[in-house]
Chains A and B, each alone.
Chain A
Amino acid sequence: MPITFHIPGALREFTAGRGTVEIKSSPTTLAEALSALWTLYPGVRDRIATEQGQVREHINVFIGNENSRYTGGLASPITSGTEISIVPAVSGG
């Protein structure tokens, strides 16, 4: 089964308006899955990750219902059919 990314509205202008993006390849880690996402849609990369390759401070990437920050970060394992959600973190200002 493909990996499915849920894309927030703010980034859909970089995904041809798509709210969900399916990755047909079989990534084994979150880093590989994200890499596949921005191969398809390069514009999302700099919005999600810093130039040092880290997920931005106020962006959370959920694997299923788990925040990837607590499952191993970019090395978090990905299994077939996983749904990945990209969500701005709760912060004020």
Chain B
Amino acid sequence: MIGQILGHCRVVAKIGEGGMGVVYRAYDEVLHRDVAVKVVNKGARIDSSASQRLLHEARASSSLSHPNICTIHEVGETNGELYIVMELVEGKSLQAMSGDGGLPPESVLRYGAQIASALTRAHDRGIVHRDLKTANIVVAPDGLVKVLDFGLAKQVGGSLFEGTTRTFATVQEASSVSGTLPYMAPEILRGDAADYRTDLWALGVVLYEAASGRLPFEGRTGFEISSAIMREIPRPLGPPIPPGLWAIVQRCLTKEPIQRYQRASEIQAALEAVQSAGIVASTPGLDPGAPRTAVLHSVRHVQVKKGDFLLLLGTTKGAFILRSNTQRRRWEVGGPYFHGHSVYAMAYDNRAGQHRIWASTASYWGTLLRSSDDFGKSWTNPQQAPIRFPSDAGVSLKNIWQITLGRAEEPDLLYCGVEPAALFETRDAGGSWSLVRGLFAHPHRPRWMPGNGGLALHTVLLDPADNQRIYVAISAGGVYRTDDGGQTWTAQNRGIRAMTMPERYPEFGQCVHKIVMHPARPERLFLQSHWGLYRSDDSAENWLDIANGVPSDFGFAMVGHPRNPDCVYIVPVESDEFRCACDGRLRVYRTRNGGASWEPLARGLPQKRAYETVLRDAITVDAFDPSGIYFGTRSGQLFGSSDEGKSWQKILEGLPAIVCVRSAVVEDASAGATKTKAVPVRDRETTAHSKKRTSLRAKR
């Protein structure tokens, strides 16, 4: 074969031999480059299966273009010789590199993430590798990983190769199963068909082998190996392997495919997260190898790109991310994140060029502030709770009700309002949090009383024009304001009735459910109380009753229009005793004149037996024009309007109780918009409404 011409390649030297062919180094005399040529060994061909298998490999792989997948250049046949011309990959196989003791953990993580990236691409194209093993992975001297031999690949869901795939499977089982047996998933041994998760099992074996230098399932015979794969748990990988890496391997090597990762991209994200955890300096005294990122079960992720529009949903059993575009017609649903944890607060933080989603989680195991920089694919899971009361406070954190970003010019500043009522701040983007002592030491605090939801500081508003002025709302404590950055606070409840106290207008103690402020007119605030709707035009010095014509002035949810400071939306409920939509008719009410009058917005909302409740943070607006409005109910329904409330559509149902809804535009959406465009929230002018009705139906 040496010296022969195959196509326009001259064979130079033999460099390897596999079960179905010989691999040669060759020179492409047309394109003047070194290549590898795989030639089917005629002698090995029992029938046409080997030829077909080789062609299949080539066709499958040639559709894949990815830096971590060996590129197929050409497929051909000359004088009965089937051959494939492919990228010449020079380096060592991962099998050879793993040796007896395994590779350093950093290398395992680095190579593993690249392999997972290659699988992600292949799986996205419907191609399953089916023969992933360390011998099929080459690492170049510069550390670039190449996955070779998509030789057993199967076009999942396609019909073109279906028949040949079955043939291949038969041949494989009959003739060469021993070569890959240690990498085979239990379901394959049971006779089930391979799918993506078969590759994810094999990746677990590869990671284990790379980390330890030994296979997770061993035996002297095929029977013993099969038995181990089916029944045994691999020996744990201890130090220096980070626990996070071991957790990933374990998840890959779960016997039941449904309990493994469901996508290679999840493994890639998890490996990268463990990688970054090793680089990021850890808190002194903590185990540096401990995982920073949780491994999530059965989570669907959204693929977010520039210009996308997101809704962040917090529920009593986890969080969801909905992705759409500027049209806001179709929605892709990601999640659930934080299975079973209550997520009462979420926020999207795009300051300083980042894309960070913040979420608070509360469960049996405590309350944590978490964040994701990759739109939910991985979340921080800090060993030590970031927000914690100091020991001298004498109380413990129960819940985080509000995450408020600092002003644009203060990208490292955030606030959290918590239960029991207190305010925390960070000035290093969440690196460390501290209790705002000025408010915690307020002489009123011992006399604040918990409402039905606990004693919560649930709203934090920053005056955009005055970086020393902050408002907070406490249920039940009332509104407090600081004009000196948090050192001193005054109760600002003049004019607000307290229906649950003997004194009708006390200095403090009102059960305020929500306050909103328009950024373009920060001296104006609106307030929804436990019985009562109010407006202040003097920075909360005085409150004016504006319950003019609403069916009930009891409610929780309230949100301001993004541009019109006279416009606010509420969702009244019938009464304190019956906290459901009035008369079983779900209606949003809007004022466009600062509360002088209110109009119901009900088109598209259920008007019969709709005993729904919308909680205080379960409503939001977007910054488009016309503005979108979105709210979720305790019954797990999400409604949206893309025309400022004139008409509504149900976006999603069947969720756990929705307690938080937030919106976000990923970077500037104006370039992709047609009928709508993003408008800075400080603009006062309300642009003409689009007449086009849009569908808001979700795709799950």
Contact = CB atoms under 8 A, between A and B. Distances in A.
Interface string B559-596: 00000000000000000000000000000000000000
Contact of B383 (A10, A43, A59, A88): A43
A18 B394 CA distance: 33
Interface string A1-20: 00000000011111111100
A28 B285 CA distance: 24
Contacts of A89: 364
Interface stretch (B97-105, B170-178, B260-268, B290-298): B290-298
A21 B45 CA distance: 55
Contacts of B246: 16-17
A42 B384 contact: yes
A56 to B, nearest CB: 6
A46 B385 contact: yes
A41 B247 contact: no
Interface stretch (A47-55, A65-73, A74-82): A47-55
Q: Bin the interface of chain B by size.
A: 20 to 34
A46 B382 CA distance: 10
Contact of B291 (A13, A18, A91, A93): A13
A56 B368 CA distance: 14
A51 B383 contact: no
A24 to B, nearest CB: 16
A18 B236 contact: yes
B160 to A, nearest CB: 42
Contact of B290 (A14, A48, A51, A88): A14
A18 B294 CA distance: 16
Nearest to A38: B383
Given A46-B385, A47-B366, A93-B316, A13 B287 contact: no
Nearest to B657: A93
A13 B396 contact: no
B288 to A, nearest CB: 10
B243 A16 contact: yes
A71 to B, nearest CB: 21
A43 B244 CA distance: 12
B5 to A, nearest CB: 55
A59 B365 contact: yes
A56 B247 CA distance: 26
Nearest to A91: B364
Contact of B397 (A12, A45, A51, A54): A51
Given A17-B246, A52-B396, A43 B366 contact: no
B236 A13 contact: no
B364 A59 contact: yes
Interface of A: 10-18, 41-43, 45-48, 50-54, 56, 58-59, 88-89, 91, 93
11 contacts: A10-B365, A11-B365, A13-B291, A15-B243, A41-B287, A46-B366, A47-B365, A50-B397, A51-B396, A52-B389, A58-B364
